[in-house]
Amino acid sequence: MPLAVVTHAHADHAVPGSARYLCAAPSVSLLRHRVGPDAAIEGVPYGEPRSLGEARVSFHPAGHVLGSAQVRVERGGEVWLVTGDYKREPDPTCAPFEPVRCDVLVTEASYALPIFRWDDPREVLRDVHRWWQGNSRRASVLFCYVLGKAQRILAGLSELTDRPVYVHGALEPITGIYREAGVRMLPTLPVAETAKGRSFAGELVLAPITARGSPWMRRFGDHESAFASGSMRIRGQRRRRSFDRGFALSDHADWPGILRTIEQSSARRVLATHGYREALVHWLRDRGTDADLVGLAHPTDPEGD
């Protein structure tokens, strides 16, 4: 592909192999980490238009992760907006979502069901902190996504404590990029650099879900496990997946957030992708909105859940 216009640096949205990449300026370091140090990447400030052939393209904050963007495309007097992944809740690690008016809205629908309604994320993180503090005799291992979710947790907990957090090695490079961008987070200690046999009792450990069941987990002995994901809103999901705790903390918009975004866009047509897109399209059509599904070139991996 000669040029890829990238909404953010999650693996299901940023794929190596293109000749050039165009992204929002705050996403450049993360995208380079994802696609390689020699990639030709141009970062554009939020709101600044670029001409691509007959179209004018600009990036606008999506509130999903650091550098995430919606892509506004204007051609022939018509405006399309591709949201990429987005959320409407406050997050100290990235620019807040910016409503953009358009004629056609292409929105994600990862959690487009009425059961998905997020609690105040600050309250969720207080619950995480209470869970951690209550486990004085064992480790608290919190599984979360490496890019975005882990840094959001570290930033939120920094308002409640100054204790360091132990992390899996996969988190360190990306967390370092967030620190370089000026994001305030708790100090982190790589598990791999601790002495063998050290007790992790009373400590919080952040790890990717891929580490679950691996030999790496043996270091923590008797521990409690938890998962931070919007999927934890589904009743019984924590028990089915055998976690001790579940925290419904998502980097995607919930049902009210998706509907508010559609309303604020004033779009005459809505196209839904990802997740529960069929349910969203059905709901919109029942209320007289011109809505349809849009396919994807590649299967998606909800890395930023």
CA distance 218 to 300: 31
Question: Could you tell me the CA-to-CA distances from 201 to 77, 134, 198, 271 in Å, in that order?
Answer: 61, 11, 9, 49
Q: Across residues 126-141, what is the average pLDDT? A: 97
Answer yes or no: same fold for 3-115+252-293 and 121-247: no
Q: Look up the pTM and report it.
A: 0.95
What is the structure's pLDDT at 304?
62
Mean pLDDT of 141-151: 98
36: left (phi over 0), alpha (psi -120 to 50) or beta: left
pLDDT at residue 239, as a whole number:
87
Return the pLDDT at 300: 44
At 235 the pLDDT is: 86
Instruction: Specify the CATH architecture of the domain 121-247.
Output: 3-Layer(aba) Sandwich (3.40)
Region 273-292: mean pLDDT is: 97
Report which DSSP code applies to 118: P
**Joined tokens for residue 1:** 């592909």
For the record, the structure tokens of 134 come out as 């209550």
- Exposed e or buried b per residue across 1-39, where buried means at least 16 C-beta atoms within 10 angstroms of its C-beta: eeebbbbbbbebbbeeebeebbbbebbbbbbbbbbeeeb
Per-residue pLDDT, averaged over 49-71, amounts to 98
Single-letter amino acid, residue 3 = L
How confident is the model at residue 188, as a pLDDT?
98
Question: Is the pLDDT assigned to residue 302 strictly greater than 80?
Answer: no
For residue range 186-198, what is the model confidence (pLDDT) as tens digits? 999 999 999 988 9
Number of other residues whose CB lies within 10 A of the CB of residue 282:
12
**Whole-number Å distance between alpha carbons of 186 and 176:** 12
Per-residue pLDDT, averaged over 132-153, amounts to 97
Maximum alpha-carbon separation in the chain: 66
Crossing angle (nearest 10°) for helices 172-180 and 28-35: 160
pLDDT at residue 303, rounded to an integer: 52
At residue 17, does pLDDT exceed 60? yes
Q: For 69, list phi and psi in degrees, rounded to 5.
A: -145, 150
Average pLDDT (277-302) is: 83
Domain ranges of the chain: 3-115+252-293, 121-247
Residue 174 and residue 146 in contact, taking contact as beta carbons nearer than 8 Å: yes
Residues 6 or more apart in contact with residue 149 via CB below 8 angstroms: 228, 229, 249, 251, 304, 305
For every residue of 38-65, DSSP letters joined together read: T--EEEE-TT--EEETTEEEEEEE-SSS
The pLDDT of residue 305: 79
Report pLDDT digits (tens) over 217-246.
999 999 999 999 999 999 899 888 999 999
The whole-number pLDDT of residue 200 equals 97
Strands (E) in the chain, as ranges, are 3-5, 20-24, 41-44, 50-52, 55-61, 69-75, 78-82, 104-108, 139-143, 165-167, 188-190, 204-207, 223-228, 245-247, 269-273, 290-293
Residue 298: pLDDT above 50?
no
- Structure confidence at residue 299 (pLDDT): 43
Q: Average pLDDT over the chain, rounded to whole?
A: 95
Please name the fold of domain 3-115+252-293: Metallo-beta-lactamase; Chain A (3.60.15)
What percent of the chain has a predicted confidence (pLDDT) above 70? 97
DSSP reduced 3-state for 223: strand
pLDDT surpassing 60 at residue 63: yes
